[in-house]
A and B are shown apart, each in its own frame.
Chain A
Amino acid sequence: MSKRILVIEDQEDNRRILRDLLSSVGFEVLEAVDGVEGVDAAAREKPDLILTDIQMPNMDDYETARRIKATETGAATPVIAVTSYALSGDEEKARAAGCDDYIAKPYSPRALLAKVRAHLGDDG
């Protein structure tokens, strides 16, 4: 059974890039277009891993990650933050919000896949 990854990302292109990348190697990809939808989908769908963008409308940067991690299922799910251009301090903020890892844009697809696989233990 393939692993399910929830992608929380407001930019359509970024969403597609993640979708195309992850599905090409066999993951099932679920999508949410903002933080509110994301928190909802995480609780409802219970994915195996969550990739969340950081700068999105409708919710403050790391609020999405925080809210997901505040739930029981969320706390047990690996959350990887997708940050922009390694602003110094982003790594600390990501960890402070409860994220298990982070990756900075622009990321190499290979590097992202490696991180996803590391947190899932295997691939889909």
Chain B
Amino acid sequence: MFDKLVHVYDFAEGDGLSKARADFSKDILPLITRMQRNAITGSLEWEEKMARDASLNHREFRANQRAVVTASFAAVALALLLGYTISSSITGPVHAIRSALRKVAGGDFDVRVVVANKDELGDLADRVTSTSEQLGTLYNKLEAANQHKSQFLANMSHELRTPMNSILGYTELIQDGIYGEPPEKIAEVLERVDSNGKDLLNLINDVLDISKIEAGELVLQNDEYRFGDIIQSVASTVEPLAESKAIDLRLDLADGLPMGRGDAQRLRQAVLNVVGNAVKFTETGSITVRVNTEGNRFRIEVADTGPGISEDDLEGIFGEFYQADSSSTRAAGGTGLGLAISRRIIEMHEGKIWAESELGKGTSFFIELPVQAENLQEGVS
């Protein structure tokens, strides 16, 4: 075919243009036409084939697509199932353990964690159960021991006081001349015996009180009281000692003091400890007790002309058995617990107690407490 094309070209280069034209129409044109036709047919066939292939591919594609999607769903479902199974084998026991621990925290030690796991979680569950059991046993023992201790203290205090009461009883009968008038020397010495005996008894009572307070077992009674009565009672108790030391005891009670609400007996004890200390540690001069109100609070000041307390000791004196200056305070007596007990009592009434002092001049103790205290035992008046 191409030879013929070359032949025509050769012809065209010569003169045979019309011959070339004739040859072209006769030979080349049909060739070209046939080529066109073949090309079109070929491309049509190719298109058809392509379409067939495409449809086939499409079907295959759709099938593949379906397969992939199904496989994906299956995989996801499987993953979810596996995930759920695994996690429930973890979260289940974890929930069980957590609710068991919550029960224990609430004081219920009777828990048993039962899980199907035979793995570390199962092990943990068993440990929680056995530990809770042990905790329960320990807790019961501790409760029993605490009860025992309180009972022990209560019994001991009764046991300790009984012989003391006998000693003091006999001593006072002798002093009162029941067995005949005692010789002067004996009466004098007996006075010391009596005084020591009373100190010892006070110490026993204070120790019991502070133990009770610290065990949280001191309950405040719900009384209506007059501060005036409390101060009068305290004054008459310390009067003998104040008189013997020639100390002037002055009371300055504001007019119209309201009725207070609190534990009258304990408040008396708290005030007595403070005033008693003032009398004990003051050698000469005066002790002034002032009571007034500030808003809805009582304010009490106990001012003495004693040796004063150094700034370092002003807080410490409220501690147990703290004695600021051993030599002088031991001579003055006292249990070392009085102020500690006073502070607890005042604080249980939601009040405050503190001291201010100037060495060489004197000391002032201040007590402040609500006129109407809360925290009182219900139903007792």
- List A residues at the B interface (Cβ < 8 Å): 11, 13-14, 17, 20-21, 24, 55, 84-86, 88-89, 92, 105-106, 108-110
Q: Contact between B166 and A11 (Cβ–Cβ < 8 Å)?
A: yes
State the 8 A-B residue pairs at the shortest beta-carbon distance, nearest first: A13-B166, A17-B169, A24-B178, A106-B165, A105-B165, A106-B168, A88-B221, A109-B172
On whether A14 and B265 interact (CB within 8 A), knowing A84-B158, A108-B172, A109-B172, the answer reads no
* Contact, CB under 8 Å: A86 / B265: yes
Distance of B222 from chain A, by nearest CB (Å): 11
| Contacts known (A85-B205, A88-B221, A88-B265); A17 close to B162, Cβ less than 8 A | no
Q: Which residues of A contact B173 (CB under 8 A)?
A: 17, 20-21, 109
Q: In the complex, what residues of A have CB within 8 A of residue B176's CB?
A: 109-110
Q: Does chain A have a CB within 8 A of B112?
A: no
Most buried by A among B165, B172, B178, B205: B165
CB pair A20–B161 under 8 Å, yes or no, is no
Shortest beta-carbon distance from B164 to chain A in Å: 7
B201 contacts across to A, CB distance below 8 A: 106
Residue numbers of B with Cβ under 8 A of A are 157-158, 161-166, 168-170, 172-173, 176, 178-179, 201, 205, 221, 263, 265, 380
- Cβ distance B134 to chain A, nearest Cβ, rounded Å: 38
A14–B172 touching, CB < 8 Å: no
The reply to whether A14 and B165 contact each other, CB–CB distance below 8 Å, is yes
How many A-B contacts are there with CB distance less than 8 Å?
A: 48
In angstroms, Cα B173 to Cα A45, docked, is 27
Cα–Cα distance between A108 and B201 once the two chains are bound (Å):
14
In this complex, what residue of A is CB-closest to B204? A85
Contact partners of B162 in chain A: CB under 8 A: 11, 84
Contacts A13-B169, A17-B170, A110-B176 given; indicate if A85 touches B221 (C-beta within 8 A): no
Q: Which residue of chain B is the closest to A11 with respect to CB atoms?
A: B162
Choose among A11, A17, A21, A55 the residue with the greatest number of B CB atoms under 10 Å from its CB. Answer: A17
Residues in chain A near residue B265, CB distance under 8 A: 86, 88
How far is it, in angstroms, between the C-alpha of A57 and the C-alpha of B338 when the chains are bound?
A: 33
Which residues on the A side are within 8 Å of B170 (C-beta)? 13, 17
How far does the Cβ of B171 sit from chain A's closest Cβ, in whole Å? 10
Q: Which residues of B contact A11 (CB under 8 A)?
A: 162, 166
Instruction: Chain B residues near A88: list those with CB within 8 A.
Output: 221, 263, 265
A84 to B170, CA, bound (A): 17
CA distance A110 to B178 in the complex (A): 11
Residues in A neighbouring B179, C-beta threshold 8 A: 20
Assembled-state Cα–Cα distance A110/B169 (Å): 11
